[in-house]
Homo-oligomer: A and B are copies of this chain.
């Protein structure tokens, strides 16, 4: 990065430098760990890997650091892989575990080979230690010339190293595991020829038997619902064990372990398990080991409406279950990382855990390695969400260092997209592309130029231009600005139907279709692509128009309700949230679902993909109220990257009172609002509070500024609590 680092960038940089930590080639550990994650899915006892290209780490990587020491210093070296150490270019004997560094200016290099797990190093000295300031390359194009010396014209490509939180020498990255905690069932009853165990709510982990003994088979059928667990022919996941001579064999994985207190070696999602045993098999009890990523619940929301509070809590729990090594779609199915699902998890995460590392890990994994040979998860729209997710991450975190690391892969991904545009500079589904948009209970045309895809494409090009600008890459910035401006200019002429006063769904061979769908219309509102008048048209003719194809996934409801909030319809959205998410709660949901159609009843809710229990009942995209409540009711958003400036625009949306916290890089923003006052306390310190008032409002700190009509704002530049009496 040639540009001066921003204040936020500096803060992050210094933070990252504080301690020695295991480092690797950026993205490599994430991709490797992602393979562990994505390859854990099973379907009725069969291993079920993803159906897109799976990448892997660079197997030979060199780490380097220039340093200047006032006095000699001994360093400790730990490495995952076979390695050598060079001091000022001179190879040291063997694989040294300690090294005395001389005083003065020197260069230290460690080159590591590891086929099975990512090359990683950990170095600890008094002042020298491994951290993200180290440079790393997988392809140092240095060479010896005729004189035997490294040539000056070498073109070594260096990156700053990647890291997470493996700050101890024995915390080897390849040995990372999530946390576990024992959990008991709430009931255990004889049903049919076996036992049904209920853990009281949707959960995730490893079934554990106490005192398992005997000889014969034991079958475990998992269910997110009671119906699924009891349906041994159709439940989505199961385990089969074989006991004999004090040993247990898992017949799906062929792993053998001792009987007695036995814990399954693969994790599953379930609320219920149904267990059938052959007569010779015995156990005293069944428990589970709950598995989870340790996260802090930094965000919060409480209000006078208990149902809404419950919606927030169930949303938060849904998010916690799906926030793991990566943000996955659902815990029963697919247990995979999908770009369209992940971007919503990131946004909810910014209002709940603010776990930056989980976001970065997921973005790396979704991108994988070059060459790009297909769209993200093979899905056209998911590629665009991937770009958009980097825009969001930058806005919420201000992390320029990450932009610098990921930018080369943004370039190659965008080159892939640009290599597949048509003569209008627009994208259409080509061979090998999955044009997804959404699951819909009705026909969705996927042919030709979809307005939805072009809107996402346009925002992706804008994101390229933004990131190029951050990195002072003027050539790219100008190129992508040109492309995005050109596409943006075409959107209305191509898709706006002046008679329908809305964007139509698609255009085939230059012919606008007659179909209007919600997708491009709501994204145009979210991206602020429309004039105030057209926004109003979209609201009336599309978003609030019941004759337009309804959305039945929480996935697209996320954007639909966001668009309505942007249009100031918090009261309508509040009602929708209570109807839709409240509806799932009334159906007994303990986590939110992949899809919910209020028209369906009973076991209809469990069916999907033509399978009776195909639907995931714990799906991250089900948790959107977490995001909506934080962003559009508490009303907190970053205006400048990393909350360098915030905007707080609380809106009760019909509630009597609400309070909550929104996490930010520098602290939290606390908001309380009732019918007469607003209280705000912001760790970040700088930004505007927006509100409406029917009388002349008063504040304990600062000067209130009147905008149009009854709209006011207050510039905050304090970490003290600001109280505004507005009615």
> Restricting to A24-50, which residues have a CB under 8 Å from any CB of B?
32, 35, 39, 43-50
> Restricting to A422-453, which residues have a CB under 8 Å from any CB of B?
431-432, 434, 439-440
**A371 in the interface (beta carbon within 8 A):** yes
Given A35-B59, A141-B51, A373-B139, are A95 and B432 neighbors across the interface (CB < 8 Å)? no
In the complex the two chains form, is A46's CB within 8 Å of B84's CB?
yes
Q: In the complex, what distance in Å separates the CA atom of A185 from the CA atom of B374?
A: 59
Residue in B39, B60, B95 whose beta carbon sits within 8 Å of that of A252 in the complex: B95
Given A95-B254, A155-B432, A431-B155, are A82 and B47 neighbors across the interface (CB < 8 Å)? yes
In the complex the two chains form, is A113's CB within 8 Å of B46's CB?
no
In the complex the two chains form, is A143's CB within 8 Å of B47's CB?
no
Whole-angstrom distance between the Cβ of A150 and the nearest chain B Cβ: 9
In the complex the two chains form, is A141's CB within 8 Å of B432's CB?
yes
**A14 in the interface (beta carbon within 8 A):** no
Given A93-B44, A155-B431, A439-B146, are A49 and B113 neighbors across the interface (CB < 8 Å)? yes
Q: In the complex, what distance in Å separates the CA atom of A113 from the CA atom of B55?
A: 11
Q: What chain B residues lie within 8 Å of A144 (beta carbons)? A: 609
Most B CB within 10 A of own CB, among A44, A116, A378: A378
**Which residue of chain B is the closest to A610 with respect to CB atoms?**
B148
**A54 in the interface (beta carbon within 8 A):** yes
Q: Tell me how many residues of A have a C-beta within 8 Å of chain B.
A: 69
Given A141-B51, A155-B432, are A91 and B371 neighbors across the interface (CB < 8 Å)? no
Given A93-B240, A609-B144, are A56 and B115 neighbors across the interface (CB < 8 Å)? yes
In the complex the two chains form, is A94's CB within 8 Å of B148's CB?
no
Q: In the complex, what distance in Å separates the CA atom of A695 from the CA atom of B620?
A: 93
For A569-611 the 0/1 string (1 means CB < 8 A from B) is 0000000000000000000000000000000000000000111
> Restricting to A501-520, which residues have a CB under 8 Å from any CB of B?
none
**A58 in the interface (beta carbon within 8 A):** yes
Q: What chain B residues lie within 8 Å of A111 (beta carbons)? A: 47, 49
**A117 in the interface (beta carbon within 8 A):** yes
**Which residue of chain B is the closest to A438 with respect to CB atoms?**
B146
For A113-139 the 0/1 string (1 means CB < 8 A from B) is 101110000000000000000000011
Given A45-B94, A253-B95, are A374 and B139 neighbors across the interface (CB < 8 Å)? yes
> Restricting to A134-172, which residues have a CB under 8 Å from any CB of B?
138-144, 146-148, 151, 153-155
In the complex the two chains form, is B143's CB within 8 Å of A93's CB?
no
Given A46-B84, A48-B91, A94-B254, are A138 and B371 neighbors across the interface (CB < 8 Å)? no
Given A94-B253, A155-B432, are A39 and B371 neighbors across the interface (CB < 8 Å)? no
Q: What chain B residues lie within 8 Å of A147 (beta carbons)? A: 610
**A251 in the interface (beta carbon within 8 A):** yes
For A79-115 the 0/1 string (1 means CB < 8 A from B) is 0001111000001111100000000000000010101
Given A91-B44, A143-B378, A378-B143, are A35 and B115 neighbors across the interface (CB < 8 Å)? yes
In the complex the two chains form, is A148's CB within 8 Å of B84's CB?
no
In the complex the two chains form, is A113's CB within 8 Å of B143's CB?
no
In the complex the two chains form, is B39's CB within 8 Å of A82's CB?
yes
In the complex the two chains form, is A142's CB within 8 Å of B51's CB?
yes
**A7 in the interface (beta carbon within 8 A):** no
A residues with CB within 8 A of B? 32, 35, 39, 43-60, 82-85, 91-95, 111, 113, 115-117, 138-144, 146-148, 151, 153-155, 240, 251-254, 370-371, 373-374, 378, 412, 431-432, 434, 439-440, 609-611, 614
Closest 8 CB pairs of A and B: A155-B432, A116-B116, A46-B91, A148-B609, A53-B139, A54-B60, A94-B252, A47-B84
28 sample A-B contacts, Cβ–Cβ < 8 Å, listed by A number: A32-B115, A35-B113, A39-B82, A45-B93, A46-B84, A46-B92, A46-B94, A47-B83, A48-B84, A48-B91, A49-B60, A49-B84, A49-B111, A51-B141, A52-B139, A53-B138, A54-B59, A56-B56, A93-B240, A94-B253, A95-B253, A116-B116, A139-B373, A141-B374, A141-B378, A141-B432, A148-B610, A155-B432
